Amino acid sequence: MELDSRELRNALGRFTTGVCVISAVSEAGQPLGLTANSFASVSLDPPLVLWSLQNNSDVFDVFAKPRYFAINVLAKEHEGHSGRYAKKGDHLLDPDHFRPGKFGAPIVHDALVSFECELHATHEGGDHLIIVGRVRDVQTREDGEPLLFYSGNYRNLG
């Protein structure tokens, strides 16, 4: 059966996810953020997580091989962050939106949780690169609700 890419995209969108901003500092010292919902946990021991980066991203070189990066899980009030850091070629982080983490990766203020990771491995995954990080630090907010993404739209719990 030949798969129609639009149908496949719609089918995949029936899986509800959270929304993250992946953050890293470029070699030129610029803090960048990119909206992603491909985050997944991989392993508890060692502590590994992953996300997938489009091969054709304008910022591929920055996000494909940073020594440290952070996965910031957005709260429901962060829909604006999600839209802002999903703009093509426009990923500079607003200084009001983050602080440096223990290992230098940008940590997004008031994220539900931020996983600061050291690059562990990358794997080819078709038109994406699978990026596996070893979690080095976790910053968790006590309260708050997640921003959800389902069928191409943002949702809230309940």
Classified as helix, coil or strand, 81 is helix
Give the CA-trace dihedral at 74, 18, 113, 142, to 10 degrees. 90
Part in contact with ligand FMN (CB under 6 A); list of ranges 28-36, 40-48, 105-113, 136-144? 28-36
Quote the CA–CA distance of 125 and 53 in Å, as a whole number.
9
Instruction: Answer yes or no whether residue 72 interacts with ligand FMN by CB under 6 A.
Output: no
Exactly one of 37, 49, 68, 93 binds ligand FMN (CB under 6 A); that residue is: 37
How many residues bind ligand FMN (CB under 6 A)? The answer is: 18
Give the number of C-alpha atoms closer than 13 A to the C-alpha of residue 146, restricted to the C-beta side: 16
Question: Measured in whole angstroms, how far is the alpha carbon of residue 80 from the centre of its chain?
Answer: 15
Instruction: Answer yes or no whether residue 69 interacts with ligand FMN by CB under 6 A.
Output: no
Instruction: Answer yes or no whether residue 86 interacts with ligand FMN by CB under 6 A.
Output: yes
Instruction: Answer yes or no whether residue 130 interacts with ligand FMN by CB under 6 A.
Output: no
Q: Which one, 9 or 102, has the nearer CB to ligand FMN?
A: 9
Q: Which one, 50 or 107, has the nearer CB to ligand FMN?
A: 50
Q: Which one, 29 or 88, has the nearer CB to ligand FMN?
A: 88
Between the alpha carbon of residue 71 and those of residues 47, 90, 97, 131, 150, the distances in Å are 14, 18, 14, 11, 20
Pull the structure tokens for residue 87: 């703009």
Site for ligand FMN, rule CB under 6 A: 19, 34-38, 51-54, 57-59, 82, 86, 88-89, 149
